[in-house]
Chain A
Amino acid sequence: MSYVLITGAKSDIAKATAREYAKNGYDLYLAARNSSELEEFAQDITTRTQKSVKLLELDILDYKSHQAFYDNLDEKPLGVISAIGYLGEQEKAQSDFNEAQQIMDTNYTGVVSLFNIIADDFEKKQSGFMIGISSVAGDRGRKSNYLYGSAKAALTAYLSGLRNRLYDAQVHVMTVKPGFVATKMTEDMGLPEKLTAQPEEVAEDIYKAQQKGKNVLYTKWMWRWVMMVIRMIPEWKFKGMSI
């Protein structure tokens, strides 16, 4: 058997990715808080694909528990996909540090804590893949979501460094930068149709890119160019814009 570990497994992107990997023959560890809520979904995957799905309890903010979480896996995974994300409320986070901290810790600190542990194991074994779902929001800070964006920017930099470190150990590290995705997290945002991906498309892109060993994946693909343009706007101009 060959397990892939997916964290933040309750998110729509995680679920679609889980289905995609099971469809392609992988067994799954699905980790989340209150993971028993995923029982129906686990049954879905097993019925569709006859693959094994194990539900695991994981609190990404309980850093101390992470080592034990990983040690307790009977069979270590072939790869890990972090789909943990917390958008939070930008305005609240500006004045309420608890909210700001939750955004930073969920999107960044927690992922680092767990990934450090898994990276050590994969490095020793000289195999495995590690996928972090970051965001295009980390490519440039904007007033509408810069706390979320800055945490994702930190994650992007972390993944880039990790990729560099694990290159010699032949461990593949991939940074995923979704643009708009139609999920529960973005339900009320009224996203533009042409730029918005369905979670299933993101999942398919992730699987294909991972199989090909890509380093950085923008999904939908046009976000690579959209973000390039956004990054090129000079700061004196950008600071006055509302985008």
Chain B
Amino acid sequence: MSFMSWGMYPKIKNTIFKFDKKKTLRRIINEHDELIPCGNGRSYGDSALNSNIIDVRSKDCFIDFNEETGLLHVQAGVLLSEILESFVPRGWFLKVTPGTKFITVGGAIASDIHGKNHHIEGCFSKCIKDFKIMLADGKVITCSKEAASDLFKATCGGQGLTGIILDAKIYLKRINSRYIDQTTIKTKNLKETFEAFEEYQDKPYSVAWIDCLAKDNKIGRCLLMVGGFRDDGKLDYKVKKQKSVPFNFPSFVLNNWSVRAFNWLYYRKVKQRISKQIVDIDTFFYPLDAVGHWNRIYGKNGFTQYQFILPKESSYEGLEEILTTISKSGKGSFLAVLKLYGKANDNWLSFPIEGYSLALDFKIEKGLFDLLDKLDEIVVKYKGRIYLAKDARVSKKTFEKGYSQIETFRQYRKENKMDTKFQSLQSKRVGI
């Protein structure tokens, strides 16, 4: 069986190594090169792909929980959905969660994921007390912001390239409801969108869906959704059964016209400029999780997500140029997500910087990579960067320009002999 990432692109043959005890893992690391750890396979591109994959998902035991402090100790293969299932009914929630709950804790660390509250809570690494990791020489190190801090900075966001994360202690936060008070703001153009983000930046959670096929003076129109947890004591929560896409759709299903129609309807569905709703955790944080295997709608050739971030001062100009380029190309994405981020952290490869990020899904097809190369140039021009957890094709040159601490990371890998042991298709391409 060959393992595929969420984007189903690229496809390569690989051997999957499972381990139960540390001893077994140490032997695998010792005997093989070109290893990359993999959690639940939800990174989109080739960051967890290589000829030799270490399956960490099966290490899925909960170890301990402290009711006083909210400190949860779990093995690295535990899914965020499993944490929610056990702890939402007890009044706890993740401090930081991405747009899917089907990722492992190990994966959350390796991508230093962020969520709709980045502007307030930062990245996942911020809620970590410490974690254990097995390095290239088989040693297990406990690492935190204070202890082995270089290893911490390299590993959080380091895409699994420093070793195999075994377990982690993370802080949860108190909630008193599984419902969120949501406000939806409908904007007419990019200027209004930016104003709305600024206006609502004290809200705990915010994210915008943007109509990337809108043209001319409508460019950048969006539905901005902001919200915060309610306080009604309703905590019953069950992970809902998914309806699943049973097979790959034929690739013509998603085309310029169907995506345009979707975007038009989605935008039109909301009538008022400002409306309020009460929605549950799954609807607010994880709308796509309701459909299993939604990646199959892009057909058997797969898809890629292009996510970049631009510094705040150049965001407006940059986004305008990028949205115009996409709109002209006619290659639409029906899930285009815009968000205002807070300050960057110290981790060497963490994606977020203060500014606006846009994420777009594209079906893999002829001409797509030319378009993305063009977008790369604009991102570089405005001093932005690309998110590795989503990427399957960025060039070394573009990547390097975005990440100023890349040399520190490279050097650290070399010094600790990680560079020859842990590699992914992505790390080889971008030279990290």
Contact A47 B64 (CB under 8 A): yes
Beta-carbon contact of B64 and A43 below 8 Å: yes
**What would be 23 A-B contacts, judged by CB atoms less than 8 Å apart?**
A23-B85, A40-B61, A40-B63, A41-B61, A43-B61, A43-B62, A43-B63, A43-B64, A44-B60, A44-B61, A44-B62, A44-B63, A47-B62, A47-B63, A47-B64, A47-B65, A47-B86, A48-B62, A48-B82, A48-B86, A49-B86, A187-B18, A193-B1
B64 surroundings in chain A (CB, below 8 A): 43, 47
Q: How far is the CA of A40 from the CA of B58 in the complex (A)?
A: 14
In the bound complex, residues from chain A placing their C-beta under 8 Å from that of B61 are: 40-41, 43-44
Q: Which residues of B contact A193 (CB under 8 A)?
A: 1
Task: State the CA gap A204–B64 with chains docked (Å).
Answer: 25
Give A32-79 interface residues, CB cut-off 8 Å to B: 40-41, 43-44, 47-49
Once the chains are docked, how many angstroms separate the CA of A49 from the CA of B64? 11
Known: A43-B64, A47-B65, A47-B86. 13 other contacts (CB 8 A): A40-B61, A40-B63, A43-B62, A43-B63, A44-B60, A44-B61, A44-B62, A47-B63, A47-B64, A48-B82, A48-B86, A187-B18, A193-B1
Distance in angstroms between the alpha carbons of A48 and B64 in the assembled complex: 9
The proximity string for A residues 178-194 relative to B, scoring 1 for CB distances below 8 Å and 0 otherwise, is 00000000010000010
In this complex, how many residues of chain B approach chain A with their Cβ under 8 Å: the count is 11
A122-144 near B? 1/0 per residue, CB < 8 Å: 00000000000000000000000
Question: Which of A40, A187, A193 counts the most chain B CB atoms within 10 A?
Answer: A40
Q: Which A182-237 residues have C-beta < 8 A from chain B?
A: 187, 193
B residues within 8 A CB of A187? Answer: 18
What residues of A have a CB within 8 angstroms of the CB of B65 in the complex?
47
Contact partners of A48 in chain B: CB under 8 A? 62, 82, 86
Count chain A residues whose beta carbon lies closer than 8 angstroms to a beta carbon of B. Answer: 10
**Quick one: closest B residue to A47, CB to CB?**
B62
Q: Which residues of B contact A47 (CB under 8 A)?
A: 62-65, 86
Q: Give CA–CA (A43, B1) in the complex, Å.
A: 32
The docked-state distance in angstroms from the alpha carbon of A41 to that of B63 is 9
Q: List the B side residues contacting A40 at CB < 8 Å.
A: 61, 63
Chain B residue at minimum C-beta to C-beta distance from A44: B61
Give the docked Cα–Cα distance between A49 and B86 (Å): 6
Q: Which residues of A contact B86 (CB under 8 A)?
A: 47-49
Min CB–CB distance B89 → chain A (angstroms): 10
Q: How far apart are B244's CB and chain A's nearest CB, in angstroms?
A: 13
A187 CA / B65 CA spacing, docked (Å) = 32
Q: A43 — which chain B residues lie within 8 A by C-beta?
A: 61-64
CA distance A44 to B167 in the complex (A): 13
Give the residue name and chain of the A residue nearest to B18 (CB).
A187
The CA of A23 and the CA of B86, in the complex, are separated in Å by: 8
Contacts of A23 in B (CB 8 A): 85
Tell me how far the C-beta of B380 lies from the nearest C-beta in chain A, rounded to whole angstroms: 42
Which residues, 157 to 191 on A, are CB-close (under 8 Å) to B? 187
Q: Bound complex: CA of A127 vs CA of B63, how far in Å?
A: 35
Most chain B CB inside 10 Å of its own CB: which residue of A40, A47, A193: A47
- The distance in angstroms between the C-alpha atoms of A25 and B387, with both chains bound, is 42
Instruction: State how many angstroms separate the Cβ of B133 from the closest Cβ of chain A.
Output: 19
In the assembled complex, the Cα of A48 lies from the Cα of B74 at a distance in Å of 10
Q: How far, in angstroms, from A49 to B61 measured CA to CA in the complex?
A: 12
Q: Which 3 pairs from chain A and chain B are nearest by CB?
A: A47-B62, A44-B61, A48-B86
Cβ of A225 to closest chain B Cβ, rounded Å: 19
B61-101 near A? 1/0 per residue, CB < 8 Å = 11111000000000000000010011000000000000000
Q: Which residue of B lies closest to A50 (CB)?
A: B90
**Chain A positions within 8 Å of B85 at CB level:** 23
Q: Of residues 1 to 39 in A, which have CB atoms within 8 Å of B's CB atoms?
A: 23
**Quick one: CB contact mask for B14-53 with A, threshold 8 Å, 1 for yes?**
0000100000000000000000000000000000000000
Residues of A with C-beta under 8 A to B63: 40, 43-44, 47
Q: Which of B178-221 contact A (CB under 8 A)?
A: none
Nearest chain A residue, comparing its CB with the CB of B60: A44
A187 to B20, CA, bound (A): 14
Q: How far is the CB of B14 from chain A (nearest CB, A)?
A: 15
User: Which residues of B in the span 310-355 have a Cβ within 8 Å of any Cβ on A?
Assistant: none
Give the distance in Å from the alpha carbon of A48 to the alpha carbon of B18 in the complex: 24
CB distance from A198 to the nearest CB of B (A): 11
Q: Taking the nearest CB of chain A, how far is it from the CB of B30, in angstroms?
A: 22
Cα(A65)–Cα(B64), bound, Å = 34
Interchain nearest-CB distance for A145 vs B (Å): 22
Min C-beta distance of A50 to chain B, whole Å: 8
Interchain nearest-CB distance for A183 vs B (Å): 11
**Which residues of the other chain, A, contact B62 by a CB distance below 8 angstroms?**
43-44, 47-48
A47 to B74, CA, bound (A): 9
Q: Which chain B residue shows the least CB distance to A191?
A: B1
Compute how far the CA of A153 lies from the CA of B362 in the bound complex, rounded to whole angstroms.
53
Q: What CA separation (Å) do A44 and B74 show in the bound complex?
A: 9
